Amino acid sequence: MKVLLLGASGQLGWQLQRSLSLVADCHFLTRAQLDLANSQAIQSLLKQLQPDWVVNAAAYTAVDKAESEPALATQINALAPAVMAETLAKNGGRLLHFSTDYVFNGQGATPWRETDPTAPLNQYGASKLAGEQAITASQCQHLILRTGWVYGENGQNFFNTMRQLAKTRSTLSVVDDQIGAPTWSRHLADTAAQMLRHFQQSGIYHVSASGQTSWYQFAKAIFEALSQQGHNIPLLEAVTSNDYPAIAQRPAYSVLSNQKLKEHYDLCLPDWRQSLQWVLQSVALP
């Protein structure tokens, strides 16, 4: 099985390199090596390589910046995946694409299911939803994996930001009214590789850690672990989203139900607390 991984240098792509190499013959490309704004380049590459699967881990993820760059966000998150799907459909290839909890409006109190109505609050979410819709409408066999709150040892993410701030800050305010499930990029990558290997049928699946928490409680858990390692930590203050308004509105509740994943693939990611402990053990703490 030949797999082409796009976005190989990102925090998820970095983990996917390892996970996919265990199940397939892989070709890795970074964002710098393939311009996703160039539809012709995408078509030419796929026709040349003829992969069995394309795993698209490349995305426009600057949520706030997308409000002022909606066309670019749409090009990368919607139009590029559409070109991939259309080209692969002609060549008999399949597409595994990552999407987001931001396709929902967050106005709920129970984990979101794949069949729940979508209503993104911002341009980033809208662009990702458009990508989902384009892939679903194509004749390409596909897996669309929605996830959220992804973090890991490398890349720009909440976990690494907190580790860095612990070195320089004595106090820190973190929002406590946005609820989600912090998902380790390694577990997400491993799950994607297993789903690709045991592909059943096209569809959308939610793939995230078990449990739920707020950004404040996530930060608290990170700092408690750092403190146990003997590091100085800042004094945390819980605040509301209104106290620190962002350019792009975020969903208040973005926990995803993994029931379909369990039923179809017998896969279930561990609780976010357990995953966090594994991540902390795998990094050289500051």
**What tokens appear for 262 in the block?**
């369990």
Q: Give the residue from 187, 158, 150, 186 showing the smallest Cα distance to 270.
A: 187
So what's the pLDDT on residue 267?
97
Contact status, residue 149 vs residue 179, Cβ threshold 8 Å: no
CA–CA separation, 186 and 12 (whole Å): 7
User: What is the percent of the chain with per-residue pLDDT over 90, rounded to a whole number?
Assistant: 90
Residue 247 lies in a domain: no
Residue 53: inside a domain: yes
In a domain, 102, yes or no: yes
* Rg over CA atoms, the chain: 19
Q: Residue 224: its pLDDT value, please?
A: 93
Domains contained in the chain, number: 1
pLDDT at residue 244, rounded to an integer: 86
Does 54 map to a domain? yes
Binned at pLDDT 50, 70 and 90, residue 285 comes out as very low
> What is the extent of the structural domain holding 104?
2-157+182-210+255-270
pLDDT at position 273 = 97
Query: Tell me, what's the pLDDT at 284?
Result: 57
Who's near 64: CB < 8 A, 6+ residues apart? Answer: 246, 247, 248
28 token code pair: 């890795």
Q: What is the CATH number of the domain that holds 101?
A: 3.40.50.720
The reported pLDDT for the residue numbered 238 is 96
Catalytic residue among 124, 151, 205, 253: 124
Task: Determine what percent of the chain is predicted with pLDDT higher than 70.
Answer: 99
User: What's the whole-number average pLDDT of the chain?
Assistant: 95
Mean pLDDT check: name the lowest of 41-55, 191-205, 243-257, 271-285. 271-285
The mean per-residue pLDDT over the stretch 27-38 comes to 91
* Rounded distance between C-alpha atoms, residue 12 and residue 7, angstroms: 8
**Counting Cβ atoms within 10 Å, is residue 48 exposed (0-12), middle (13-18) or buried (19+)?**
exposed
Q: What is the mean pLDDT of residues 16-41?
A: 93
Whether the per-residue pLDDT at 187 is higher than 80: the answer is yes
- pLDDT category at 254 given cuts 50, 70, 90 is very high
Does residue 224 lie within any of the structural domains?
no
Mean pLDDT of 180-196: 98
Looking at residue 210, what is its pLDDT? 97
Decide if pLDDT at 203 tops 50.
Answer: yes
Backbone angles phi, psi at 253, to 5 degrees: -130, 110
Q: Is residue 134 part of a domain?
A: yes
The alpha carbon of 249 is separated from its chain's Cα centroid by a whole number of angstroms, namely: 18
- Kindly state whether residue 122 falls inside one of the protein's structural domains: yes
- Whether 124 sits among the annotated catalytic residues: the reply is yes
The answer to whether position 246 is within a domain reads: no
